Amino acid sequence: MKINYNGTTIEVKDNLSLHSFVTELQLESRTIAAAVNEEIVPKKNWENFFLQEGMTVDIFNLVAGG
């Protein structure tokens, strides 16, 4: 299936959880946040949040400071 990831359309396997997607990208989950269709998905929900065709996924690096 196709999703939009950080502005690029990519192909991913069906029934892919947000947690598995982040893991496959080899991203450090403790330093990122994820939004799907412009809504932040809490990390505690990533394992049970499954991506669907046409969704927009944005991954952000968290930065400390002010």
Q: How far is the first Cα of the chain from the last one, in angstroms, to the nearest whole number? A: 39
Return the DSSP state at 19.
Answer: H
List pLDDT tens digits, range 11-20: 999 999 999 9
Check pLDDT > 90 for residue 65: no
Q: What are 17-44's pLDDT values in tens digits?
A: 999 999 999 988 888 999 999 999 999 9
DSSP symbol at 50 = B
What domains lie within the chain, and their CATH numbers?
2-61 (3.10.20.30)
The pTM (predicted TM-score) of the whole model is 0.90
pLDDT at residue 54 above 90?
Answer: yes
Residue 63 makes CB contacts below 8 A (sequence gap 6+) with: none
In angstroms, the CA 11 to CA 65 distance is 35
